[in-house]
Structure 1
Amino acid sequence: MISWKLPWLLLLLAAVPAWVLWRKRRLLSEAASFPPLQFGEVASRSRGGWGWLLGLEGALLALSVLTLAGPMEVEEVQLFDEDGIDLALVLDVSASMQAADFPPNRLEVLKKLSTELVRRSAGNRVGVYAFAAICVTQAPFTTDTQAVVDLIDSISYESVDHYRVGGTAVGDALLMASSAMLELREPGRDQVVLLVTDGESHLGADPLLAARFLREKGMRLYVVGIGQDEPVPVWVNGKPLPGDAGKQLTTRLNDTQLKQIAAQAGGTYFRADSNDVLGRIFDEITRLEHKPLQVQGAQVEHSLRAYGAMGLVLLVALWLALDGLWLRRPLR
């Protein structure tokens, strides 16, 4: 849709025909007949072109008026005012997450579902924390969905040095994520922590105290226990991971402590023992934290004056060529 910044200037277009007629009369009145200055054959070539000159001048005047009137292309757009949340994904990357009861392993399945969750959380500020014995900030809180997805995809077994220190520090991870959210807290904006782990906490802060801290700060906690009741062997890069006494490490889900953590925070505990169940849990969490979108209409204006200016330059060049190189050149 075309609109105008100064539409009242378009009234000047009515004066263009009158100006062209006045210019024609002026040119004719200035013409004078002179006899040949010497004997000889009069050039047969007709000078002509005055009609084209007047047409160019009229077009120049009209285009000048149109350009000054400020033509604009108006585009109707929809703005989405998203009432989002702060969402911290606290993901266990300990050695036991290499177990293959979730093909190809628990960590890869968790990464895939986490990226889907982030993509469906448009408008939310999302931060990602990877932990084992220590906790690292994988992605600081941001609304840049693609950046968070790329950083989740880069998580691997090597993200944490398992050979120097092993174990799982759930309490440290919860405190690190919640402290980061407190620094970003805005009135009326919900803050949610999603903890996904397959084991009990062996190191660091007491996870029950960390859960109580979340509750006191008004944060919601979802805990997802991933694993099965039966022991599952752990493989890393196709090789058995050694455990105690040189035997291959096995892992099983003991969710007693995870249930206590969720209860202490006033949150919800989910148990996932297969890919399908874990996917359904993430779907449910997405629906729980979904916020309605408020859609508002808006207009975006794109000025077209630059095109008018380019047209004026072209017409002036044609006018100069016609008047100076054709009409006023000497007869031969």
Structure 2
Amino acid sequence: MIFNDFFIQFGYPQAWQMIIPAVLIAFIIRKLWHKPIIYKYSLGHVLHAKSQYKKPLPLVLFDFLRLAVVTLLALLLFEPKIIDKRSQLPLDGIDIVLVLDVSGSMQFMDYDDQKKSRIEVAKEEAIRFISARNNDAVGLVIFGNDAVSRCPITIDKRILKKMINDLYIGVVDSEGTVLARAIITAANRLKDAPSTNKVMIVLTDGEPSVQDLDINIAIKVAKDIGIKIYTVGIGSEKEEFFMHPFYGVVQKPKVNASLLGHIAHETGGQFFMARNATDMRKVYDTIDKLETTAHQVPVFGIYYDLLLPLGGVAFGMVFLYGIFSTLIWFVL
């Protein structure tokens, strides 16, 4: 076995946050309340003065077993695994970042084929799209009046889908649409991605806010990195109105189709309009046919979970401690 071909990975490296307080509490309790058992013998002070006393070997063995068991149990909290470096898998895939608008206007329920809000349909179709991209690394950026990188580029689809499913209006400041900042945030995630095929999918339903950056700055950043942007307008590019319970007749945010088309054209992508849930699904199905490229990702096919071996060793030491404490007690 060549040790350079293996490394240890911890599934729960945050375990030290529990271990350190527990050790400190145990230390304090022992210092304040523990009182060792003292045996007094006649002429004991004479033996001590002549340095003829030494700790019996069985007691040293007990101390070692106790320390070893505690150390192993603490190590198990980190969920250690041995990974075989030689089992790294080459996957055919691309690096994608979803950029989702979570501004206040995304709560409108204007899809005729489904009684769901824009954000609900966008979330459902995004999850369906991610489920179909088995070999692709996908990240998530959300934006309203702020742009936030919600999830780095990852192949862990389970955690990514959970993050998307947990999105709601108000998770970031919803009073605005900083489209350019969101694109730059997503580009920052893609700049160091290993794939040569970098894709960004931007979904929005309105005009950028006044305080947003110049969109041409975001386009230049994306082009310099080599990112292809697919833009999706949610809702309608026409003027529409709705009855607000407090303000009466209010105009809905209108999709700036020309701006989204400009972003897609300049970066080599495409612009889509999703006027209903069916359109949204067709958009993702079209993007799903993207060209792929082979690249190495940190996925390994062979790993050895150390939970059972280390747990077995700890149990064996506890068993030996019980046996020795029963048998050796009579010879002390």
TM-score by length of 1: 0.57
Q: Is the 8 A contact 2:101 2:142 kept in 1?
A: yes
Q: Is the 8 A contact 2:147 2:182 kept in 1?
A: yes
Q: Which residue of 2 aligns with 1:177?
A: 186
Q: Is the 8 A contact 2:207 2:253 kept in 1?
A: no
Q: Are 1:168 and 2:185 counterparts?
A: no
Q: Distance in 2 between matches of 1:224 and 1:208?
A: 18
Of the three residues 192, 201, 215, the one matched with 2:199 is 192
Q: Which residue of 1 aligns with 2:5?
A: none
Q: Are 1:133 and 2:145 counterparts?
A: yes
Post-superposition Cα deviations, 1:55-105, rounded to whole Å, max 9, x if no partner, equal xxxxxxxxxxxxxxxxxxxxxxx9963122211000011111111112411
Shift of 1:139: 1.5
Q: Is the 8 A contact 1:98 1:234 kept in 2?
A: no
SS in structure 2 at match of 1:267: coil
- After TM superposition, the structure 1 = structure 2 runs for residues 67-146 of structure 1, keeping only pairs within 5 Å, are 81-102=90-111, 103=114, 104-146=116-158
Shift of 1:300: 11
Shift of 1:200: 1.8
- After TM superposition, the structure 1 = structure 2 runs for residues 247-326 of structure 1, keeping only pairs within 5 Å, are 248=250, 250-290=252-292
Q: Is the 8 A contact 1:241 1:249 kept in 2?
A: no
Q: Distance in 2 between matches of 1:269 and 1:105?
A: 22
Post-superposition Cα deviations, 1:181-212, rounded to whole Å, max 9, x if no partner, equal 21x332x5321111011112123211222112
Q: Is the 8 A contact 1:225 1:258 kept in 2?
A: yes
Q: Is the 8 A contact 1:196 1:226 kept in 2?
A: yes
Structure 1's 154 and 217: CA in aligned 2 closer, same or farther, altered over 3 A?
Answer: same
SS in structure 1 at match of 2:170: helix
Q: Which amino acid aligns with 2:140?
A: V
Q: Which amino acid aligns with 1:201?
A: P
Q: Give the paired residue count.
A: 211
Q: Is the 8 A contact 1:138 1:152 kept in 2?
A: no
Q: Distance in 2 between matches of 1:274 and 1:299?
A: 44
Shift of 1:288: 1.4
Q: Which residue of 1 aligns with 2:225?
A: 217
Shift of 1:292: 7.9
Q: Distance in 1 between matches of 2:274 and 2:220?
A: 24
Q: Distance in 2 between matches of 1:241 and 1:251?
A: 17
Q: Is the 8 A contact 2:241 2:251 kept in 1?
A: yes
Q: Distance in 2 between matches of 1:254 and 1:241?
A: 26
Q: Distance in 2 between matches of 1:227 and 1:137?
A: 24
Q: Are 1:154 and 2:163 counterparts?
A: no
Structure 1's 272 and 207: CA in aligned 2 closer, same or farther, altered over 3 A?
Answer: same
- Runs of 4+ residues deviating >3 angstroms: 78-81, 229-235, 245-249, 289-294, 298-301
Q: Is the 8 A contact 1:200 1:258 kept in 2?
A: no
Q: Are 1:205 and 2:213 counterparts?
A: yes
Structure 1 runs not aligned, ≥5 long: 1-77, 307-332
Q: Distance in 1 between matches of 2:303 and 2:190?
A: 35
Post-superposition Cα deviations, 1:139-170, rounded to whole Å, max 9, x if no partner, equal 122110110000000000121233xxx22110
Q: Which amino acid aligns with 2:118?
A: R
Q: Is the 8 A contact 2:197 2:292 kept in 1?
A: no
Structure 2 runs not aligned, ≥5 long: 1-86, 310-332
Post-superposition Cα deviations, 1:254-273, rounded to whole Å, max 9, x if no partner, equal 31211122222232111111
Q: Is the 8 A contact 1:190 1:219 kept in 2?
A: yes
Q: Which amino acid aligns with 1:261?
A: I
SS in structure 1 at match of 2:220: helix
SS in structure 1 at match of 2:285: helix
Q: Is the 8 A contact 1:86 1:181 kept in 2?
A: yes
Q: Which amino acid aligns with 1:172?
A: R
Q: Is the 8 A contact 2:125 2:284 kept in 1?
A: yes
Q: Is the 8 A contact 2:229 2:263 kept in 1?
A: no
Q: Which residue of 1 aligns with 2:22?
A: none
SS in structure 2 at match of 1:179: helix
SS in structure 1 at match of 2:280: helix
SS in structure 1 at match of 2:193: coil
Q: Is the 8 A contact 1:193 1:221 kept in 2?
A: yes
Q: Distance in 2 between matches of 1:299 and 1:258?
A: 44
Structure 1's 259 and 252: CA in aligned 2 closer, same or farther, altered over 3 A?
Answer: same
Q: Which has the larger radius of gyration?
A: 1
